[in-house]
Chains A and B, each alone.
Chain A
Amino acid sequence: MDPSARSTGPKSGAEPVLSLRGAAVRVGGRTLWSGVDLTVGAGEFTAVLGPNGVGKSTLVKVLLGVLPAAAGEVRVLGGVPGARNAAVGYLPQRRSFDASVRIRGVDVVRLGLDGDRWGIPVPGLGRAKRRAARERVAEVVELVGASAYAHRPIGQCSGGEQQRLLIAQALIRRPQVLLLDEPLDSLDLPNQSAIAALLGRICHQEGVSVVMVAHDVNPILHHLDRVVYIAEGGAVAGTPTEVITSETLTRLYRTPVEVLRTSDGRLVVVGQPEAPALHSDRHSEPGAGGGHVSG
């Protein structure tokens, strides 16, 4: 299926769920990327791609509001980042719980629901509410297919099982935006496509905007509406067919990059710089080479 077919863009007139205009970020005194423009509408599936260390996780943190943008304007759900985080589900990159952590998976999922609430629940009061919370936990654990091991201490679950439970934790409050940092990490191929399909369903059927950092675009290619490719200094955004092409990536990286399509429709990027080897002052030219497509 041609990924561009589902690229409809945000509903015209409605305010975008996420928007970045000329955004830049500085970490530890150096600019990671600048001049990034991106608009994500309700129910859109966006992938953030790029080599290691280029600042993908940093972009997610800016959207979450835990890191400030150095320049430009960033808006999330109509406010500054962080203002409406109750409606944002977040999955940080690669966390694994130590084998000795004696907290059950369901408890970790439950913390996503009301872990930020102060005070202890008064015994006897709010029994209906507690039951509703328990049912919601069970529902979301079932949704990600983690029921078999959710009652085990999370430290005893495998990496992929923990990842599913953490996805459940991110989903539990029915967020309007999901920020997922490499959620397919530590999953095998069948599980990658199962989780990708689940996220695609949540995104397109329930109108949740998904922003997902990924290293491999192929497991999610069918579900994607939009791609942000970050390179040293700048970024390009647009539909997968616009962005993942030899011309665009060559322009972005200023080095020959070739995009090949295999017979089964998978995309292979050849010649992409592995990691920004040196961070010279080339960063001072903002967004060089980034043809910004926003919608």
Chain B
Amino acid sequence: MFLADTSSPAVSWNLLADFQQMWAYPFMVNAFRAGAIVSVVCAAVGWFMVLRRQTFAGHTLSVAAFPGASLAILLGVSTSLGYFGFCVAAALVIAALGRKGRDAGAEESAVTGTVQAFALACGYLFISLYKGLLEGPTALLFGSFLGITTGQVTLLAIVGALVLAVLAVIGRPLLFATVDPEVAAGRGVPVRLLSTVFLVLLGAATAEASQITGTLLVFALMVIPAATAQQLTSRPGRSLALAVLIGFGSCWLGLIAAYYQPYPLGFFVTTIAFTGYVLAHLGRALHEALGWSRSRGRTPLSIGGTA
């Protein structure tokens, strides 16, 4: 996973020089580009996912990325195809089987769990069928930033732009349907349709993230930024923007760390994001303990210990 051909690059602490050094390698440029796209898309979609309490669905969709990628390798087609195909298909299955009534949370999680188990089993089968050159499922499960091609970056950018565009169009009714489904339905918001569309967006976003952090660490980019931002502010617009910033920051910092240190990228991204989350939590607890929020009548922390 570590760069074998560069003999231990050293940090000069001159950011400009460091970036120039890193970006001398085309694969690092691609990694930073892909990281930027994926972290922004995932933070935005993840913000809604956390608010909708659909993290379990998100996790299942990311698990579906694993059989997708392994089947693509088995068949010799592009892994991107496998990622997007399987994640979006799993999203449609969850949407079709679950959420019949309004309080269908338990049923939905049962359906989701079923899909997840089946996806993992398929991935295992595909991996064992492919006895050849596959070095092992580690890269699929924990991610790799080496060898992201310019073609992959383009695909990530196109899908990411589509996801963000759809999210921008449906954002407000989706928020309404999330916070207050009955009133939204009464106002003519197509709550069920939005829920399906959102699952498809979630599938696309997890497919993107899986290609950077691997299947198992998708939440580093999807849940942690949103959860951190929602700790820091309860204003929807601000907290969404903050989530995007935190996601972007942890991803790029993780890439820089992974360039200089011989440990996996997924570890760095997750650790940095997690540190931010813990700091935000502590900050908020401190604020509440000191009673500042009460005297101002709202939760006042708006910037704080981001990654």
Chain B contact residue count (CB 8 A cutoff): 29
Query: Given A115-B175, A116-B173, does the pair A95, B182 have CB atoms closer than 8 Å?
Result: yes
Contact between chains at B175 and A64 (CB < 8 Å): no
Contact between chains at A151 and B298 (CB < 8 Å): yes
Query: Given A64-B186, A85-B186, A104-B235, does the pair A116, B169 have CB atoms closer than 8 Å?
Result: no
For residue B131, which residues in chain A have a CB less than 8 angstroms away from its CB? none
How many inter-chain residue pairs (CB < 8 Å) link A and B?
91
CB distance from A97 to the nearest CB of B (A): 8
Interface of A is mostly: loop
Residues 84-113 of A, flagged 1 when their CB comes within 8 A of B and 0 if not, give 011010111001000001111001100110
Tell yes or no: B283 within 8 A of A by CB: no
Residue of A85, A111, A118, A152 touching B179 (CB-CB under 8 A): A111
For residue B187, which residues in chain A have a CB less than 8 angstroms away from its CB? 85-86, 90, 115-116
Query: Given A85-B187, A116-B189, A119-B168, does the pair A153, B234 have CB atoms closer than 8 Å?
Result: yes
Residues 159-195 of B, flagged 1 when their CB comes within 8 A of A and 0 if not, give 0000000001111110110011011111111000000
Tell yes or no: B236 within 8 A of A by CB: yes
Query: Given A111-B176, A116-B188, A120-B171, does the pair A90, B234 have CB atoms closer than 8 Å?
Result: no
CB distance from A170 to the nearest CB of B (A): 8
Residue of B184, B185, B234 touching A103 (CB-CB under 8 A): B234
Query: Given A102-B234, A104-B234, A107-B235, does the pair A66, B186 have CB atoms closer than 8 Å?
Result: yes
Task: Report the bound CA distance from A116 to B194 in whole Å.
Answer: 12
Contact between chains at B299 and A120 (CB < 8 Å): no
Interface of B is mostly: helix
CB distance from B258 to the nearest CB of A (A): 32
Tell yes or no: A169 within 8 A of B by CB: yes
Tell yes or no: B297 within 8 A of A by CB: yes
Closest 8 CB pairs of A and B: A115-B176, A151-B298, A92-B182, A102-B230, A90-B186, A153-B234, A116-B187, A102-B234
Which residues of B does A touch, CB under 8 Å? Answer: 51, 168-173, 175-176, 179-180, 182-189, 230-231, 234-236, 239, 293, 297-299
Q: 9 other contacts beyond A112-B183, A116-B188, with CB at 8 A cut-off?
A: A65-B186, A85-B186, A107-B234, A107-B236, A111-B176, A111-B184, A116-B187, A119-B172, A169-B183
CB-defined A-B contacts under 8 Å, sample of 23? A82-B188, A85-B187, A91-B183, A102-B51, A102-B230, A102-B239, A103-B236, A108-B180, A111-B172, A111-B184, A115-B176, A116-B176, A118-B169, A118-B172, A119-B169, A119-B172, A120-B169, A120-B172, A148-B297, A149-B297, A151-B298, A153-B299, A169-B183
